[in-house]
Structure 1
Amino acid sequence: MNEQKEPLQALIVAVPETAGSALYGMVDVLAAAGNLWQQLAGGEQTHPIRPRIVSITRTPFSCGNRVPVTPDLSLDDDPAADIVILPELWLAPDDDFKNRYPELFEWIRKRYRAGSAIYSACSGSIMLAATGLLDAKEATSHWGYEDLFRTHYPKVKFRPEPNLCFADASGRIVTAGGTTSWHDLAIHIIARHCSPGEALRIAKVYLLKWHGEGQLPYASLVRQQSHADSVVRKCEDWLAAHYKDRNAVAKVVAFAEIPERSLKRRFKIATGTTLIGHVQNLRVEEAKRHLETDSAAFEQIAAELGYENLAFFRRLFKRSTGLTPGAYRRMFRPFADVARATEAADVALPDSASA
């Protein structure tokens, strides 16, 4: 019988802002590597990764949604780690997190200098950005935090589209995208530190899906920005009602009653998006709604949105969402079908069953 190697030490950082589902989901999945599939299907069981929770102190606390946490280790223990994981945080889209836990940020920097691999999931990358380790590097997070990175962490090369983003060629800093991207991150960690075969087995056991399509299909292209430019806000409100109009950009310039160049400059500064880009985003969002909820042909949708050049709008849609219109409909239409089936079932229930 082969002698089992010492397990890799994986420390998962928890603070009161941490999302409990991501924290304990990561603990469960990493602890299952090497043994859960083997229990179910047969084979020699191993425990290649030892996940533990580390926090500021060992004092128990509640994290997001009052999920109880009892840390295994504290920063005072100065624990060594092969792997450090920063899971999702419950943070507002404008919460930069910079000044909350300076001693934790220093510990993360120390672990990186000592050779640990650093991984973050979703908004955990905001904690990682606060350490400075992402400066001048590519990183991702939930698409809803793109403006936060643009405002508070301009040195980070934020990318909203991938499910995983590698900060450098060594792969020692990896950030994962939206909320359940910790699934993708766990698969990556097991594939890299155990084996691709074991990652596949864990994915099968837990029914984990690799989000190869990235985040773009899930992202909202139109988000309310916080800014103080009343003219731009007035134009945003006008476009929300008139984005389908032909020559919408020329019309909103006339509505604004300021020079076109000035409006375009002020719009980009206030929102981070060009004026024409905002109009296109509004139209793509409307196209997405149709594809999700009805059976209209894409040609009909494009015409309704003012596009005579179908090929152009098809390219724009794919660039914006990462999917062709047909693939997008196949991905999201089932949600509407489930909702309709549920509503029909509710209607069919007798009064006594629904009481």
Structure 2
Amino acid sequence: MKHVSILVPAGEAVVGSIEGPHKVLSQVNDLLASLGQAPAFQVELVGLTRHKAFNRGLFTLRADRLLDEDFRTDLILIPAPHGDLVEAVALNQEFLPWIVRQHQAGAEVASLCLGAFILAATGLMDGKKCATHWLGAPQFAALYPAVHLVPEQVITDQEGLYSSGGAYSYLNLVLYLIEKHVSRDVAVCCAKVFQIDIGRHSQSPFVIFQGQKAHDDEPIRKAQEFIEQHVAGKISIDDLAARSCLSRRNFERRFRKATGNAVAEYVQRVKIEAAKMSLESSQDNVSEVMYSVGYSDTKAFRTLFKRLTGVSPLAYRDKYSRKGPVAQAA
């Protein structure tokens, strides 16, 4: 039986990312008991204090163990902090050496959603792939440049270290761990009980591209605004550089430094984001949407759209159109 330690972090946290894994892993034990089998997990909450209140006292969790107790664990789950992420990491500094020691002793460690910030602060993820919520990806990349951020992925698994994508996709990682440590059949059963899409591997369809503008490079910010205001046109890097009164080489260097994207990639993402909005809200067909964002090659547009979103334009419309079942029922 594996000992699972779900951390109860200091500061604010997403309580669901503590209670949810606890519930699903407990369900595994209940299922195995119904089959006359021994439990797979001993699940305990591990905190810095015995009781911890969240959401202005709306929820209070009781830790089964305190961090300063002498015990070994097999799997550590790091839930998602809430609020200022730099502050969250600072408040949870006491956990970091403990996580490292437990991992060195053989424990696996998994971060859930923005819990990746705490896991990365241990240094264990340096040089490894890590997923997190796409909203936190720019800040994560800036804080932890040694980590290979893969914001499009739902799950990463390297050398006993795991991470999950944003929000409730942590449940996909929990199912993955159940399949790995118990069985595929039990994981599928839990997926059905909790109605979790067990086959999801990408969070790209959920990403809303918002160009990074929290920088002080005014010419680059104006270039970003020009790109966003002219999605239907052909946008030349040379033209953007000239508008910024910069050489192309200097413009491209400053653009990447300020935004985290190459110029061509930024233009593509802005155009595809505009196409997504059109597919969600308008009745234009895919070709009309394609032309409206400055593309004329159908194959190239569909290929780029799928690369950036993980699905085809038609599949995206079917999933996110505002003319969906609720609107139809009304």
Q: Same fold (TM over 0.5)?
A: yes
Contact 1:34/1:198 (<8 A) preserved: no
Alpha-carbon distance between aligned partners in 1 of 2:17 and 2:30, rounded to the nearest angstrom: 21
Equivalence for 2:181: 193
1:127 to 103, 109, 118: 118
Range 128-137 or range 241-250, more displaced: 241-250
What is the identity, as a one-letter code, of the residue corresponding to 2:271? R
C-alpha deviation, 1:21, in angstroms: 1.0
Q: Which digits, 9 at most, give the CA deviation of each residue in 1:138-176, with x for residues without a partner?
A: 1111112221222111111111111101123xxx11111
C-alpha deviation, 1:195, in angstroms: 1.3
Equivalence for 1:348: none
C-alpha deviation, 1:284, in angstroms: 0.1
- The yes-or-no answer on 1:245 pairing with 2:240 is no
SS at 2:324's partner residue? helix
Q: Which digits, 9 at most, give the CA deviation of each residue in 1:187-234, with x for residues without a partner?
A: 112111211111111111111112524111111223343111011112
Equivalence for 1:155: 146
Contact 1:35/1:45 (<8 A) preserved: no
- The yes-or-no answer on 1:340 pairing with 2:327 is yes
Contact 1:302/1:310 (<8 A) preserved: yes
Equivalence for 1:268: 256
C-alpha deviation, 1:95, in angstroms: 2.8
SS at 2:268's partner residue? helix
- The yes-or-no answer on 1:11 pairing with 2:11 is no
Q: Which digits, 9 at most, give the CA deviation of each residue in 1:28-68, with x for residues without a partner?
A: 110110424876xxx4364321211101122x121346421
Alpha-carbon distance between aligned partners in 1 of 2:326 and 2:240, rounded to the nearest angstrom: 37
C-alpha deviation, 1:273, in angstroms: 0.8
- Call closer, same or farther: CA 1:128–1:64 in 2, change over 3 Å: farther
Contact 1:11/1:84 (<8 A) preserved: yes
SS at 2:311's partner residue? coil
Identity %: 27
Equivalence for 1:323: 311
Alpha-carbon distance between aligned partners in 2 of 1:188 and 1:323, rounded to the nearest angstrom: 22
Alpha-carbon distance between aligned partners in 1 of 2:129 and 2:65, rounded to the nearest angstrom: 30
SS at 1:52's partner residue? strand
- The yes-or-no answer on 1:291 pairing with 2:279 is yes
Alpha-carbon distance between aligned partners in 1 of 2:198 and 2:37, rounded to the nearest angstrom: 25
What is the identity, as a one-letter code, of the residue corresponding to 1:160? P
Contact 1:163/1:211 (<8 A) preserved: no
Alignment of 1:84-103 (within 5 A): 84-92=76-84, 95=86, 97-103=88-94
C-alpha deviation, 1:293, in angstroms: 2.5
Alignment of 1:27-106 (within 5 A): 27-36=22-31, 43-44=35-36, 46-58=38-50, 60-64=51-55, 66-92=58-84, 95=86, 97-106=88-97
Alpha-carbon distance between aligned partners in 2 of 1:67 and 1:33, rounded to the nearest angstrom: 25
Contact 1:37/1:205 (<8 A) preserved: no
Q: Which digits, 9 at most, give the CA deviation of each residue in 1:65-90, with x for residues without a partner?
A: 64211111101113321111111221
- The yes-or-no answer on 1:20 pairing with 2:20 is no
SS at 2:45's partner residue? strand
What is the identity, as a one-letter code, of the residue corresponding to 1:17? E
Equivalence for 1:258: 246
Structure 2 unmatched ranges of 5 or more: none
Alpha-carbon distance between aligned partners in 2 of 1:14 and 1:117, rounded to the nearest angstrom: 17
Contact 2:4/2:77 (<8 A) preserved: yes
Larger Rg: 1
Alpha-carbon distance between aligned partners in 1 of 2:219 and 2:211, rounded to the nearest angstrom: 17
Alpha-carbon distance between aligned partners in 2 of 1:225 and 1:166, rounded to the nearest angstrom: 32
Alpha-carbon distance between aligned partners in 2 of 1:216 and 1:290, rounded to the nearest angstrom: 17
Equivalence for 2:104: 113
C-alpha deviation, 1:256, in angstroms: 2.1
Alpha-carbon distance between aligned partners in 1 of 2:127 and 2:96, rounded to the nearest angstrom: 18
Size of the aligned set, in residue pairs, is 328
RMSD: 2.1
Alpha-carbon distance between aligned partners in 1 of 2:286 and 2:100, rounded to the nearest angstrom: 50
C-alpha deviation, 1:97, in angstroms: 4.4
What TM-score does the superposition give when structure 2 sets the normalisation length? 0.92
Structure 1 unmatched ranges of 5 or more: 1-6, 345-355
Contact 1:96/1:126 (<8 A) preserved: no
Range 247-256 or range 109-118, more displaced: 247-256
What TM-score does the superposition give when structure 1 sets the normalisation length? 0.86
